[in-house]
Amino acid sequence: MVVQTVVMLEVWGPFMEWFESTTGIANFTIAWTIMFAAAMVIALLLMLGASFISSILPTKTQNTNVISDSSAELNIDMDIPAETTLSNFIRYGYALIPLGLGIHLAHNAKHFLGEGLAVIYTSASLVGWNITGDPSLLNMPTIQIIQYILSILGVLGAIYTAYKISQNNPNSKSSVLPYIVLMLMFGLIALWMYGVPMAARGH
């Protein structure tokens, strides 16, 4: 959702122009697809990196009160069995759901609260009524506050989910730390985006 929002910001246009001029790719569709795919891959690599770090954290913080979890796959090659990177990646991936939901709601709050009345104006034009006016339901500062609240709730939900998942970790409770850092990073990026103007679009 972070990637999807970034491409709608005003800063994305100049960045794409720079990318096209630097790489020599004249086709906008190809250039846009490459950049979007690269952004998605970066997010995936960050998650894999967090999973790898989580799987090799010191075992001195080993959780002795672990709850049995059949989805955890152990790496028996280590002196003290630890969860593999892939298993770690799969299990902690669920923690991204609250984060994605919060950022998704915050992103669409801008459209609904900032452009919601455009639906009425457009629908009226279909029956020959000429109704115009400000399409926003709330002013932008209020919308931004709502976006911040939704995003923060998403981050907190993600951190809590990751923490609960860590309770089932066969290696260490500290395995959640890389994911907390990752969630906070995504959350900060989301908060930054809400302060950047979005590119104008027609209704």
Alpha-carbon distance 86 to 180, whole Å?
Answer: 18
How confident is the model at residue 179, as a pLDDT? 92
Report domain extents, the chain. 2-63+75-193
User: Tens digit of pLDDT for each residue in 150-185?
Assistant: 999 999 999 999 988 888 765 566 788 999 999 999
Q: Average pLDDT, whole number, for the chain?
A: 80
Contact 175, 52 (CB under 8 A): no
User: Tens digit of pLDDT for each residue in 125-151?
Assistant: 888 788 787 888 888 889 999 999 999
pTM of the model: 0.74
> What is the H or E stretch that residue 142 is in?
helix 140-166
How confident is the model at residue 98, as a pLDDT? 95
Contact 36, 5 (CB under 8 A): no
